[in-house]
């Protein structure tokens, strides 16, 4: 875990206003070896059109900065945007990484979409990681924390003095992830967040989304462990597990399903690949009725 003298990776954020998602381009300044975290594939729900503008902007940034892309890191199987990892893997050859318990998510959702091509073994991804795994990033290391609760497969990537927490934590004035998806758990989420908050206070925390809570007009995605521990509206220091679980359950009961949950999950359990083409040559996303 990062110490006071931990190396400091360079972090660049790319905000997707359509899904409120933040993608990160992270690199080691000493070697210019880079990773991309949670890339977005552009999708229009109005006409089911796919585009790669956001992913191509990442590729342009990699080229312009003279970086070598080593990893495509997914914090979890997202329910709010389609992943561009498959597209970026095809363009660069960089391997796609996700938490090992993606297999749980695949077992839940592959039958829902009749995704017979999805073997629930994680083989669609190049590397499945679990608690304690370490990946190289030039002179830096990517340390893996298993932080379930939002989904069973959620992981946090700690790189030097930076922690990339996906949807587990939001900015302090917005709170924390929902825990009502299949395999989610408010109790697990509380314990996962407490582990993140046990990192050194100066650790930079990079969140996966920002939704502009009332009273704030500028999108933000970087905070610190100390700021989260002091000010997170759901889980600041002093909030007990029982109180958090009660708050989380009450809040989740008021939330609607994410707009893109159905198209997102059937793509993201395939590591960002689209479903195979039907006999007529067209690829289809399925919208099962009354299931979410």
Q: pLDDT for 178-194, tens place per residue? A: 999 999 999 999 999 99
Q: Per-residue b/e over 263-286, b at no fewer than 16 CB within 10 Å?
A: bbbbbbbbbbbbbeeeeeeeeebe
CA–CA distance, 95 with 248 (Å, rounded to integer): 35
Per-residue pLDDT, 74: 98
Global pTM value? 0.96
Is 248 among the domain residues?
A: yes
Q: What is the pLDDT averaged over residues 199-212?
A: 97
CA–CA distance, 33 with 193 (Å, rounded to integer): 29
Per-residue pLDDT, 4: 41
Q: What is the pLDDT averaged over residues 54-74?
A: 98
Position of tokens 């195979």?
276
Is 152 among the domain residues?
A: yes
pLDDT averaged over the chain?
96
270 SS3 class: coil
Position of tokens 């975290």?
37
Does the pLDDT value for residue 7 go beyond 90?
no
Mind listing the pLDDT tens digit for each residue in 229-278? 999 999 999 999 999 999 999 999 999 999 999 999 999 999 999 999 99
Within 13 Å and on the Cβ side, how many CA atoms surround 207? 27
8 Å CB contact between 6 and 13: no
Does the pLDDT value for residue 49 go beyond 70?
yes
Is 239 among the domain residues?
A: yes
CA–CA distance, 19 with 16 (Å, rounded to integer): 6
Per-residue pLDDT, 291: 87
Instruction: Detail the DSSP E strand segments found in the chain.
Output: 10-16, 21-27, 33-37, 40-44, 49-51, 68-73, 82-83, 96-99, 127-129, 134-137, 140-146, 155-159, 162-164, 204-206, 222-224
Closest CA to 98 of 168, 153, 36: 153
The parent domain of residue 210 ranges over: 10-263
Closest CA to 79 of 174, 151, 16: 151
8 Å CB contact between 86 and 75: no
Is 65 among the domain residues?
A: yes
Phi first, then psi: what are they for 281, rounded to 5°? 90, -5
Is 282 among the domain residues?
A: no
8 Å CB contact between 109 and 131: no
> In Å, how far from its chain's centre is CA 289?
26
Query: What is residue 16's DSSP assignment?
Result: E
Is 273 among the domain residues?
A: no
Our count of domains for the chain comes to 1
Give the number of other Cβ atoms within 10 Å of residue 191's Cβ: 15
pLDDT category, 6, cuts 50, 70, 90? low
Per-residue pLDDT, 3: 43
Does the pLDDT value for residue 89 go beyond 60?
yes
Does the pLDDT value for residue 5 go beyond 50?
no
pLDDT category, 28, cuts 50, 70, 90? very high
CATH number, domain of 21, equals 3.60.15.10
- Residue-by-residue DSSP string for 115-169: -TT--TTSTTSSEEE-TT-EEEETTEEEEEEE--SSSTT-EEEEETTEEE-TTSB
8 Å CB contact between 105 and 77: yes
Is 150 among the domain residues?
A: yes
Is 285 among the domain residues?
A: no
Per-residue pLDDT, 292: 82
């Amino acid at each position: 875990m990062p110490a006071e003298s931990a190396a400091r990776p360079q972090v660049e954020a790319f905000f997707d206003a359509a899904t409120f998602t933040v993608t990160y381009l992270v690199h080691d300044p000493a070697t210019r070896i880079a990773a991309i975290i949670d890339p977005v594939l552009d999708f229009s729900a109005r006409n089911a059109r796919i585009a790669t503008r956001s992913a191509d902007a990442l590729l342009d940034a990699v080229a312009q900065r003279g970086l070598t892309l080593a990893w495509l890191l997914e914090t979890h199987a997202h329910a709010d945007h389609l992943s561009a990892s498959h597209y970026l893997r095809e363009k660069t050859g960089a391997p796609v990484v996700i938490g090992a318990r993606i297999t749980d998510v695949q077992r839940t959702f592959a039958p829902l979409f009749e995704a017979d091509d999805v073997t629930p073994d994680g083989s669609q991804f190049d590397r499945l990681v679990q608690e304690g795994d370490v990946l190289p990033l030039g002179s830096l290391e990517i340390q893996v924390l298993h932080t379930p609760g939002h989904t069973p497969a959620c992981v946090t990537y700690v790189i030097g003095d930076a922690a990339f927490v996906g949807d587990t934590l939001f900015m302090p004035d917005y709170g924390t992830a929902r825990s009502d998806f299949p395999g989610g758990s408010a109790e697990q989420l509380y314990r996962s967040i407490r582990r993140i908050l046990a990192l050194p206070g100066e650790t930079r925390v990079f969140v996966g989304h920002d939704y502009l809570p009332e009273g704030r007009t500028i999108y933000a995605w970087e905070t610190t462990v100390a700021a989260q521990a002091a000010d997170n509206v759901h889980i600041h220091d002093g909030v007990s597990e029982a109180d958090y679980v009660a708050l989380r359950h009450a809040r989740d009961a008021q939330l609607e399903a994410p707009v893109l949950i159905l198209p997102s999950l059937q793509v993201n359990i395939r590591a960002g690949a689209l479903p195979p083409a039907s006999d007529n040559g067209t690829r289809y996303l399925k919208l099962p009725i009354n299931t979410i």
